[in-house]
Structure 1
Amino acid sequence: MPRPIFFAACSIISCLALLTSAAFDMSRPDNVAMYWGQKSKSSVPLAELCKNPNVNIIPIGFVSNYFPDNSSMKFNMADNCDAEHFACQALEPDIESCQQQGKILLISLGGGDQPTPWQFADKGQAEAFAKLLYNSFLGGNDPKVTRPFGKAVLDGIDIDLENGQSDHFDEMVAAVQAAAKSNGDQKKYWVTGAPQCARPEPHLETALKTVSFDALFVQFYNNDCGLDSHADMSRFNFAAWHDLMQSSGVNKATKLYIGAPANSSEGSHYVDSPVLQKYIEATWANYSSAFGGVMLWDAYGAKANNNYDQQVKKILSAATSKAGATAADMPDAAPDTPTTPTFSALPVDTDSAEATGSLNTAESDSTASPDTSVPSGMSDVLRRYRSPQGHPHEGLARF
């Protein structure tokens, strides 16, 4: 795929970062995203995860809260760094090694155990947080801001809000982009989200309509719309998510991932890999252009579960090597009437361009091709929402 144009006018930190993640390809349908940072470092060290050929995206969790009164935030990585002194600089070489191997690493905001609800009161708070975030984890170089990972520059942000609301998150994302531009930073920063599968989404609904996402790691677990061990796909509402993206003015090219627990101990609705294979194959057959791969929670659970990520990557590679849906397979649009179909009855998707929602201060390198043929009635397939377990985290650090 075309890559961002390189400009000489960038900081040393951001220029080095530009050279490290060039091999990553968001347009692929077989990417595996796997969260890291919430268990003991002895379980799966980041250096070990970076050598794993089955993983493409590593969201690091979590920045769990922002405190506008003193412009600080809570950062949590269990015992993977010094929570008292916010010192994770020892991970700098591991992060850079990961990027050199074609993986992207994202700083994840939120998590399942946020101590207080996340809420920006106004645009000013969102912009202030964006500057702090950019200087702490991305290409910023404000000497007054501590960089937990030293000179390592992460590749973007992941929004996993599971407490509070996402008002003004579009302004936060825009402010990160503005900070990068003013810093002469031409690095492409990806924007992903990890919404609950329930429609409407209880915390990210506003952001889903206003933030331009490159990918959504939809959590098809801990909710009634989650995966089912009997592969009962009548509750699997991937169609509703696809329909939501296609009706959006900013997310028509967003890649959608099937989010799944990597271990039965990591959340309800865990399914064995042969069952997950059925979901992957059905989704690819019906929505090939929108499908981005699988998100797993998390790296530790996958390793303990006979390297579940390896099984998933093998399934993805095999399934997506087959031809997906084409325009010829597209049925006539159904009436705008709420339905609860089995997955085999869901409409298929036409091919579209790759995602364009990233924080990229260089000129956009792709144009989305809207799919207007999907029955709009699928957006009304609502599921009963049950309070999610979410993505738990341990050991808070504040800086």
Structure 2
Amino acid sequence: MYCLRTALLPVIGLFNAAYARLDTDSASNLAVYWGQNSYNQGSGNLTQQPLGYYCENTNIDVFQLAFVTVINGIGGAPQVNFANQGDNCTTFPGTDLLNCPQIGADITKCQGKGKTIILSIGGATYSEGGFGSEEEAIAGANLIWETFGPQKNSSRPRPFGDATVDGFDLDFEATVRNMVPFANRLRSLMAADASKKYFLTVAPQCPYPDLYNKEMLEGKVDFDAVFVQFYNNFCGLNTFEPGQEEQKSFNLGEWNEWAKTVSKNKKVKVIVGAPANQRAAGSGYVDASKLAEIVKYSRKFSSFGGVMLWDASQAYANGNFIETVKGALNSGFAGCRFGWRRTQMPMARPVV
């Protein structure tokens, strides 16, 4: 099909700049984890800033807030950890759940700028091991929904007040049980709320099948996207061989095959996860120019949906890393197949 690129680019660019959210028909999504201050600078410009600060960056489409570290915590409430950005929060009485109205305000601000805000559950310190039964898993999903989903006269303490996240990301890095009913209950709760589009994602490590999220990835859960961590493993980005159609270790092709043959959602997007700085992972980091090569290679896979970065603090300490990666994502300009390239133009308020 012929694309009227030249004539329509200014108009289309305006709409896309205004509506820069997770697009499951696009291969140019850029998602960034926020919340763990992994660059670990205690003060100054390179310490982790409030969420709203990063939402001014028009190159970023999605933020995953990291993390919900405990689902069933003290006082029947979950627990969250946002590193230094939790310092300004209080704690709900009788619980270990942080009350963070300023983060709630930033969520609303970011959504107003067209960003998708996904709450990530798990992380490296999650140690509950999932749930003892399917019933407990469903109850856990209900608890998460009442705490972070839409405010519907719930008596639950809500860390973000009236703000509602746009979905949930499951990032388990240890053995868990009964996560399929947990994830499916979240999906059903999101589907029942017609007020907006919600997303359910998962963040496996690159070896396939992923050890800890395996059951959820066996076609039992309807995910919108998978943020595959191509680092800290033999299949990391650092093993990519430029110019080679068949890769020996970098296994995006295997994940594309999973998307087309195993995934419950056959239109699921596979998003390439990358460390945003040398210190962001034990192995797997590549500089922005090599990541751009990987993006170009990845476009041959129909499930490719963009790039995920760990994390905001690392990326902002690494020069123009974000801008270079987003430029690579946009440079393919696969308008007919994936949607139009976003251009940096004055932003109108998004239609949501």
The TM-score normalised by the length of structure 2 is 0.79
Say if 1:117 and 1:164, in contact at 8 Å, map to a contact too. Answer: no
Show CA shifts across 1:267-320 (max 9, x none). 011001111111111110x21x31100000000000000031111001110034
2:141 counterpart (130, 139, 153): 130
The alignment-based identity, stated in percent, is 33
The match for 1:275 is 290
- 2-side partners of 1:313 and 1:112: how far apart? 27
Q: Aligned partners of 1:178, 1:260: CA distance in 2, in Å?
A: 30
1: CA distance, partners of 2:28 / 2:48: 26
Equivalent AA in structure 1 for residue 161 of structure 2: G
Mapped contact 1:110–1:163 kept (Cα < 8 A): no
Structure 2 residue aligned with 1:217 = 227
Say what the alpha-carbon RMSD is for the aligned residues. Answer: 2.5
Residue by residue over 1:83-113, the C-alpha shift from the partner in whole angstroms, topping out at 9 and shown as x without a partner, is 6441111122211111111110011011122
Give 5+ residue unaligned stretches, structure 1: 1-19, 325-350, 352-399
What does residue 106 of structure 1 align with? Answer: 118
Aligned to 2:58: 53
Counterpart of 2:171 (choices 148, 160, 163) is: 160
For 1:187-215, what per-residue CA distance to the aligned partner results, in whole angstroms no more than 9, with x for missing partners? 32101111000122110000112111101
Query: Aligned equivalents of 2:63 and 2:141: distance in 1?
Result: 21
The answer (yes or no) to whether the contact 1:34–1:297 under 8 Å persists in 2 is: yes
The farther-off stretch of 243-252 and 67-76 is 67-76
User: Structure 1 pair 309/144, CA: closer, same or farther in 2 (3 Å)?
Assistant: same
Residue 93 (str. 1) matches residue 98 (str. 2): no
CA distance in 1, matches of 2:284, 2:28: 22
What's 2:195 paired with?
A: 186
> 1:170 Cα deviation (Å)?
2.9
Q: Do the aligned residues in 2 keep the contact of 1:139 with 1:180 (CA within 8 Å)? A: no
1:37 deviates by 0.6
Match of 1:35, SS state, is: strand
Q: SS at the partner of 1:316?
A: helix
* Match of residue 251, structure 2, among 234, 237, 242: 237
Q: Secondary structure at the match of 1:217?
A: strand
1:141 aligned residue (144, 152, 156):
152
Find the residue that maps to 1:67 and give its secondary structure: coil
Q: What does residue 270 of structure 2 align with?
A: 256
Report the 3-state secondary structure (helix = DSSP H, G, I; strand = E; otherwise coil) of the residue aligned with 1:107.
strand
8 Å CA contact retained: 2:67, 2:80: yes
Cα distance change of structure 1 residues 31 and 179 upon mapping to structure 2, 3 Å threshold: closer
Q: CA, structure 1 residues 199+230, in 2 after alignment: closer, same or farther (shift >3 Å)?
A: closer
Deviation (angstroms), 1:228: 1.4
Structure 2 segments unaligned to the other structure (5+ residues) = 1-17, 93-97, 339-352
Distance 2:28 2:163 in 1: 27
TM-score (norm 1): 0.70
Measure how far apart 1:125 and its partner are: 1.0
Q: Matched residues in 2 for 1:258 and 1:56: separation? A: 14
Q: Are the structure 2 counterparts of residues 79 and 141 from structure 1 closer, same or farther at C-alpha, using a change threshold of 3 Å?
A: farther
1:203 and 2:212 matched: yes
Q: Classify the secondary structure of the residue corresponding to 1:61.
A: strand
Q: For 2:53 and 2:74, locate their aligned partners in 1 and report how far apart those are by CA, in whole Å.
A: 39
> Aligned equivalents of 1:31 and 1:73: distance in 2?
30
Deviation at 1:139, TM superposition (A): 1.1
Aligned residue for 2:316, secondary structure, equals helix
Secondary structure of the 1:150 match is coil
Kept after mapping to 2: 8 A contact 1:117/1:163: no
Residue identity in the other structure for 2:145: Y
d(CA) in 2 for partners of 1:212 and 1:315?
29
Measure how far apart 1:231 and its partner are: 3.5
